[in-house]
Amino acid sequence: MSYPPQGLGVNVSDADAAVGDVKSGKTFYAVASPKKTGTMPTKAIVAGSDLYEEGYHAGDPGGLDAIDTDLAPAKIKKDVVIFGKTGTYTPTLAEDVLGSQISGLTTGYADGGTQHQPLAAGADLDLASKTQTYATTSRAVAVGFINVKASFANTIKLRLYMDGVLVTESAYFSTSATTYITASTRALSGSKTCKITIHNYAGAEKWCNIGSASGAGGSKLAAGIGVGSIKV
């Protein structure tokens, strides 16, 4: 005897829904067993989570931005499209810190404009430093300069450190009086120190003549550091 008997009801022999296809708690009739109960779980996407689980989703007439109000153009980077929302956000940059420091060392000669500076083999001599407090999102730049004449060729270089990291180094100082400038950037946050030094690569003590800031004896050296930073 066929099911349903001929002339009675609807032929459901080709029905292919399974319990996992039907929302949990809802019942349906199938061929093998007259009545079944669905097991598809009801799920929902929620703000603050990127989970998109398998199951029944009721949806939201207000759209995804009704579920998570952060899905808004003003909070998305400009021209980036997320779920159909085109961003308009452009970060605003602002000045963070600005500072400078001339070397605290002075020329030793009463009538001269330079400081005859010896430097041990492999040694660093601190010339100037600046400590500033940087914002958390800060990008800092440091610039160091020196007016110097090396007594020996191919021996001494200018170094720039930012918070205990060597970030840039000059070529050898010339044996003619020359002003060198070196600069670098890195991210800094909190109270940090940037400084310039000179370094002797020779295997023996060498020296150089560092100019004075004012050209007079006993005045500060013509060496210094400037720092600045911008923040978002």
Interface residue list for another protein (CB under 8 A): 122, 134, 136, 138, 140, 150-154, 157, 161-172, 174-176, 178, 182, 184, 186-189, 192-193, 199, 201
Nearer to another protein, 76 or 208 (CB): 208
Tokens linked to 173:
């100082």
> How many angstroms separate the CA atoms of 195 and 159, rounded?
8
Reading phi first (left if > 0) and then psi (alpha if -120 to 50, else beta), residue 58 is in alpha
Nearer to another protein, 38 or 211 (CB): 211
Residue 25 C-beta: closest distance to another protein, Å: 47
Reading phi first (left if > 0) and then psi (alpha if -120 to 50, else beta), residue 163 is in left
| Amino acid identity at 50 | D
Residue 65 C-beta: closest distance to another protein, Å: 30
Residue 57 C-beta: closest distance to another protein, Å: 37
Residue among 204, 153, 142, 203 nearest 178 (CA): 153
Nearer to another protein, 106 or 151 (CB): 151
Nearer to another protein, 38 or 155 (CB): 155
> How many angstroms separate the CA atoms of 131 and 214, rounded?
24
Residue 117 C-beta: closest distance to another protein, Å: 13
